[in-house]
Amino acid sequence: MLLSIETATNVCSVAFRDREGKQIEKRTNKRGSHSELLFLFIEELMEEHGLKIPELEGVLVSKGPGSYTGLRISASAVKGLLFQTQVPLYAVDTLASYAMQAATEREVVGTIHSVIDARRQHLYHQKFQWEQGALRTYDQTEVRPIDNVEKMIEAGDIVVGTGLKRLDAEVRDKATLLDSHAITARSLIDLYEAEAENFFKQVDPESFDPSYYTSSQVQ
């Protein structure tokens, strides 16, 4: 059994994989809802499905980049959930989970650009490849000017995440776009089951700190 948490953007999503492999999700795209709904979603999953934290194989958390507030709230949640338990915590780069969801949704997949709106004239960006049924990246998460990201997007590429409307219309027309509907905690479970050793890192719940990006990194 796995519990996963995604709060890096306006989306607040909690997913649970039961013993039979079924995934159940609680999700909203309501701005500013994380503090109100994240703990409620977890409690509802626990009550509705007899979920007991000590019985979990692990907890998966999206570690950023993204909203400072959303990431801070999820970090607080996992610290509380796993306090004095032996349940491992696994963190994953947010943009990798977006890419996994894009690969899951599309039948034909090649290059995937995962993006999050970084405000000003920038996007958080990382490029991925779907190769022989597996997700790969030869890139790092960067805060990039929007026009630099636009130059990297080729015809037929997939762009997934937030801030898509900030891309030039010609760029949007030549790519397949997946907006915030593709942001879900379920993708963390899918990625963990397929590529845990490549994308997840076990972290200490007590000292876990998400990947915050400061304003100095957005020029």
Q: What is the pTM of this model?
A: 0.94
Residue with tokens 């109100």: 36
Provide the pLDDT for residue 170: 97
For CATH 3.30.420.40, the residue range(s) in the chain are: 2-93+183-217, 95-181
Q: Read off the amino acid at residue 8.
A: A
Note the CATH architecture for domain 2-93+183-217.
2-Layer Sandwich (3.30)
Q: Please give the structure tokens belonging to residue 219.
A: 């020029």
Provide the pLDDT for residue 121: 92
Provide the pLDDT for residue 213: 67
Distances (CA, A) of 162 to 11, 81, 83, 123: 10, 29, 33, 9
CATH of 95-181, one of 3.30.10.20, 3.30.420.40, 3.60.150.10, 3.40.50.300: 3.30.420.40
Contacts (Cβ under 8 Å, ≥6 apart) of 93: 63, 64, 126, 141, 199, 211
Q: Collapse the DSSP code of 125 into the 3-class scheme (helix H, G, I; strand E, B; otherwise coil) and give the result.
A: strand
Provide the pLDDT for residue 65: 96
Provide the pLDDT for residue 219: 46
DSSP code for 18: -
Contact status, residue 109 vs residue 159, Cβ threshold 8 Å: no
The parts of the chain modelled with pLDDT lower than 70 are 108, 213-219
Share of the chain above pLDDT 70, in %: 96
